[in-house]
């Protein structure tokens, strides 16, 4: 199997999964923080920037995966999932539309599933077989 494909899918699935855990853990961290300290109700800046760090890593993973996959439908599916994740995170920061938090989880989970699917079903016996644009 093409080593760069394997790495991009693994990194993409890991980054999206960690992003989902980060988003899931945030409310619990703030509940604990608000119970222990009553002076601050906002997240620290470094915690807010983690979202963008995960977005950057997942962008690079999606870009690399779409360059090397042999499944045509994976390319638009990965990009649509990444765009959905990007828009939900930006929406959360800017407050454009009130969306349930589950929308962010669905977008992140879609990226994880698509990367894992591509990792499993783009099985090449020789280098370069996954770069075909079928």
Domains held by the chain: number: 1
In a domain, 17, yes or no: yes
The yes-or-no verdict on residue 115 having pLDDT over 70 is yes
* Cβ pair 85, 108 in contact under 8 A: yes
In a domain, 132, yes or no: no
In a domain, 133, yes or no: no
The pLDDT tens digits of the residues spanning 69-105 come to 888 898 999 999 999 999 998 998 899 999 998 898 8
Closest CA to 23 of 47, 5, 2, 58: 47
Residues 118-126, mean pLDDT to the nearest whole number? 70
d(CA 117, CA 21): 20
Residues 8-30, mean pLDDT to the nearest whole number? 72
d(CA 67, CA 44): 36
pTM score: 0.69
In a domain, 134, yes or no: no
In a domain, 50, yes or no: yes
Q: Give me the domain span that covers residue 104.
A: 3-125
């Amino acid at each position: 199997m093409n080593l760069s494909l394997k790495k991009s899918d693994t990194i993409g699935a890991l980054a999206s999964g960690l992003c989902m855990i980060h988003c899931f853990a945030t409310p619990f961290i703030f509940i604990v923080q608000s119970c222990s300290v009553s002076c601050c109700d906002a997240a620290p800046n470094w915690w807010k920037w983690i979202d963008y760090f995960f977005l950057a890593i997942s962008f690079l993973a999606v870009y690399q995966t779409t360059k090397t996959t042999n499944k045509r439908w994976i390319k638009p599916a990965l990009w649509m999932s990444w765009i959905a994740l990007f828009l939900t995170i930006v929406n959360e920061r800017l407050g454009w539309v009130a969306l349930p938090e589950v929308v962010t989880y669905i977008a992140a989970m879609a990226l994880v599933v698509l990367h894992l699917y591509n990792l499993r079903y783009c099985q090449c016996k020789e280098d370069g077989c996954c770069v075909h644009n079928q």
